[in-house]
Structure 1
Amino acid sequence: MSAPLDLSRDVVALTADLVDFASESLHEQQICDAVVAALMVCPHLTVDRDGNTVVARTDLGRDERVVIAGHLDTVPANDNFPSRLVGDELWGLGSCDMKGGVAVALRLAARAATANRDVTFVFYEGEEIAHEFNGLGRIARERPELLAADFAILMEPTDARIEAGCQGTIRAEVTVRGVRAHSARAWMGENAIHAAGEIIARLTAYEPRIVDVDGLEYREGLNAVGVRGGVAGNVIPDEATVTVNYRFAPDRDEQAAAAHVRDVFAGFDVVFVDSAPSARPGLTLPAAAAFVSDLGVDVAPKFGWTDVAQFSQLGIPAVNFGPGDPTLAHRADERVPVAQLYAVDEAMARWLLR
């Protein structure tokens, strides 16, 4: 069993402590127990637990409230547990995605009695799996009053720069139907897999948009991510399905994105199987603009979906900001630079505690 968390520890040491809690999705209880125990001894925090999701709030009477959030779960281990320090990098499952960011947030929570804003800290379960298990989403649906704020920061890995907004994502199954026959008498059937070539042709010819949203350039993508068809080695298939994923810019909502996919595949049967909204950057809103100005780091669009969209749905501007290269997330060689842990920890403390 891992030792209790000491939130006064150096950010690198605390990140290593968090990595050493095994917390694969749906197995977050032990790390959540430790986070709750560490936060409960802070007299300036009111702590609520919902499943394996924790909400800790200050009530300092400040003029502005911000949410600082991070997920506690990881993908399954890949011979990368526990943590280890290698030169100037901390290696281990979740070190980048996103226990480095959680360590920064926990250290802030311990010192938030002197914060210049009221703060709601959210440490949540189930981010790496289906949306139904996402603890932040559950709080947003069932107890949205706990998330009321002027601004939100999701401590996802961003290479220590600000990534604003996020793409939306929608998956659809595009199906073509034929007529089944024995492959020895192929002329008596209609081969659905052959006919699916038109779906692939449309994808190959597709030109994705590049869109400016609030001064940031978002690139879209529409791609095949799966192909299914055929029932036996001697049967002409009567059905073939191509699963496509559309990553859309935040100037489109889910309804507009779905309409676009239908237009691209007009004439085919299109069934949507998964969808998540985009989030506009919101950088012109006062709280977000002040955060960007105060930190003085690079700002880029977020390519991919993150839980900033949960805040956007609640009308709260939100950005991603955390240590670690997001391209290393979920990899066996996942790691985070020590320098970025210190840089993000110092930047957040300077902004919130000065």
Structure 2
Amino acid sequence: MTDPVTLTAAMVDVASVSWAEKELADALERALRAQAPHLEVLRSGDAVLARTRLGRPHRVLLAGHLDTVPIADNVPSRRADGIVHGCGTSDMKSGDAVFAHLAAALPQPRHDVTFVFYDREEIEAEHNGLGRIEREHPDWLAADLAILGEPTDGALEAGCQGTLRLELRTAGRRAHSARSWLGDNAIHRAGEILARLNAYTPRDVDIDGCVYREGLQAVRIGGGVAGNVVPDECVVTVNFRFAPDRSAEQAVAHVREVFGDVDGIDAVVTDLSPGALPGLSAPAAAEFVAATGAAPRAKYGWTDVSRFAALGIPAVNYGPGDPDLAHTREEHVSEAAIVACTEVLRRYLAP
């Protein structure tokens, strides 16, 4: 397997927007089977899994998603001045490249290692390839520590926020806008929802030295059918990013409480994923924290560490990309960051 910088660019050059990861998965599977004969390899849909079976006392799982958000005129990749530019460089093909390189370069790691390159992370949670793997091949997700290559700019990010989306729907009565007194404007009724959001004070929560900042935001609003009709429906989509000390059920209850006394609204949950506690006291996690030499910080955003936490597996985010560049037209990653993350993981895993 080539060096991780060159491999990052090569992976970017194979477009893999969600639902179209097959070409990249095929290429990765071929490479692992040809260049890492010490690994057991499994194909699951458009996910590629590989693992050692050395009988080590501990197993570490390295996981990264292969898909990206839609391309924004930033494929193929471009390298200049120590930077790799292109869709997915930060989120998270550079992390995938680090893991794939190590899969071939470390035939005798001191921990048994499982590599999981999975599909459909960037879309609705119900389509996430990890869910399919958990249902069909649960033994492949067993580990003492899971490390996700999500972009952290080389920092160690522990746990993650939960995420909740609700649609808050107001109802009114249609009328000709020239006779507005005959109608009931549903968009105007949504004003109280927006006022509550504007006045909302989020929590900061310290867990194991990691401070999680909550946020409750309107992320979409829609209503009305024509320029001369009083609208009879308005929908405000609200996103709540909550600290992992709240369960998913507690998060739903909290948001319903915020809006519960607003007249005439209907609230429907459209997406819900729990957060994950840091779990840094587990031996394998503490060992990795020491190997990075970095102070852990909270993960702002939801990642699949939540899925591993639900399985009782401590999980952290650690990758070379800058999270502020994820999903942007200007997405890029520095070659130095790729090399640095590779060396930290090599030191941690090498015999």
- TM-score bucket (shorter structure): over 0.9
* CA displacement, residues 215-251 of structure 1 (integer Å, 9 cap, x when unaligned): 2100000011111222232322222221100000000
Give secondary structure in 2 for the equivalent of 1:240: strand
Partner of 1:309: 306
With structure 2 as the length reference, what TM-score do the two structures score?
0.95
Offset, 1:76: 1.9
For the residue of structure 2 that corresponds to 1:250, the secondary structure is coil
Evaluate the alpha carbon distance shift between residue 127 and residue 186 of structure 1 in structure 2; reply closer, same or farther with a 3 A threshold. Answer: same
- Paired position in structure 1 for 2:128: 134
What is the SS of the residue equivalent to 2:107? helix
Match of 1:291 in 2: 288
2:342 is the alignment partner of 1:345: yes
Q: Distance in 2 between matches of 1:229 and 1:26?
A: 30
Once the two structures are superposed, the pairs formed by residues 263-282 of structure 1 within 5 Å of their partners are 263-267=257-261, 268-282=265-279
1:118 to 112, 121, 134: 112
Displacement, 1:258?
A: 0.4
Find the aligned partners of 2:85 and 2:244 in 1 and give their Cα distance: 34
Question: Helix, strand or coil for the counterpart of 2:157?
Answer: strand
Once the two structures are superposed, residues 303-335 of structure 1 have per-residue CA deviations (whole angstroms, 9 ceiling, x without a partner) of: 011111111111111000010111111112111
Residue pairs, 1:148-297, within 5 angstroms: 148-267=142-261, 268-297=265-294
Whole-angstrom CA distance in 2 between matches of 1:209 and 1:250: 12
Identity percentage of aligned residues: 58
Letter in structure 1 aligned against 2:300: F
Does residue 73 of structure 2 align to residue 79 of structure 1? yes
Q: CA RMSD in A?
A: 1.3
CA deviation vs aligned residue, 1:26-50 (integer Å, no higher than 9, x gap): 1111111111111113222111101
Partner of 1:57: 51
Give the 3-state SS of the residue equivalent to 2:135 in structure 1. Answer: helix
Moved over 6 A (4+): none
Q: Give the conservation status (yes or no) of the 8 Å contact 1:140–1:310.
A: no
What's the counterpart of residue 4 of structure 1? Answer: none
Q: Give the letter aligned to residue 75 of structure 1.
A: V
Structure 2 gaps of 5+ residues are: none
Q: Does the alignment pair 1:31 with 2:24? A: yes
Q: Deviations over 1:281-303 (max 9, x none)?
A: 11112211111012202321110
What is the TM-score when the length of structure 1 is the normalising length?
Answer: 0.95
State how far apart, in whole Å, the 1-side matches of 2:155 and 2:132 are: 28
The question of whether the paired residues in 1 share the 8 Å contact of 2:209 and 2:297 is answered with no
Unpaired runs of at least 5, structure 1: 1-6
Query: Post-superposition shift, 1:273?
Result: 0.8
